[in-house]
């Protein structure tokens, strides 16, 4: 948890958000600047910048985030139409927010990955 991090501030409730789901580990919100018809973010409560920064095995957290994404995608009606899960990591990926997050993109045909 850091003072300035935007996702930590949302987690604390300092910044209002449309919290779609939340448990003891992570929460789900809509992206403020959506890159698809449906664009959700699965965000761990704990401040971790990148997967490489896990101090202990982060497999449980990552798996939990994936399952939260699956459940959110189901609620958004994207099981049959499909969706894309993306985790940007560092400069070449264009990661803007230095707090680990999983993008859930769908609701329309997505372009090729580049
Ligand atoms: P990144 O490029 O780091 O993988 O993705 C960061 C995402 O966070 C971007 O898609 C951006 O639109 C989104 N974002 C940044 N600030 C906020 C915010 O305050 N609220 C929400 N809901 N999304 C945000
Ligand atoms: Zn943070």
CA 103 to ligand 1 center in whole angstroms: 9
Q: Name the strand (E) or helix (H) holding 59.
A: helix 59-75
State which ligand 1 atom lies nearest to the alpha carbon of 97. 3
pLDDT digits (tens, 9 = 90+) for 58-74: 999 999 999 999 999 99
Mean pLDDT of the region 49-56: 93
Query: Can you give the pLDDT at residue 1?
Result: 57
Enzyme catalytic residues = 101
For residue 42, the ligand closest to its alpha carbon is 1
Using 50, 70 and 90 to split pLDDT, how confident is the model at 2? confident
Which of 37, 41, 11 lies closest to 28 in space, CA to CA? 41
Partner residues linked to 81 by β-bridges:
none
pLDDT digits (tens, 9 = 90+) for 3-46: 899 999 999 999 999 899 999 999 999 999 999 999 999 999 99
- Indicate if the pLDDT at residue 56 is higher than 90: no
């Amino acid at each position: 948890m850091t003072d300035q991090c935007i996702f930590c501030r949302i987690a604390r409730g300092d910044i209002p958000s449309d919290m779609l789901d939340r448990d003891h580990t992570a929460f789900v919100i809509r992206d403020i600047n959506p890159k698809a018809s449906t664009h959700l973010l699965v965000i761990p409560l704990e401040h971790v910048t990148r997967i490489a920064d896990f101090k202990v095995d982060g497999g449980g957290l990552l798996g939990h985030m994936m399952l939260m994404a699956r459940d959110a995608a189901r609620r958004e009606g994207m099981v049959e139409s499909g969706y894309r899960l993306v985790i940007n990591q560092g400069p070449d990926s264009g990661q803007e927010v230095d707090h680990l997050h999983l993008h859930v993109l769908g609701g329309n045909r997505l372009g090729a990955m580049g």
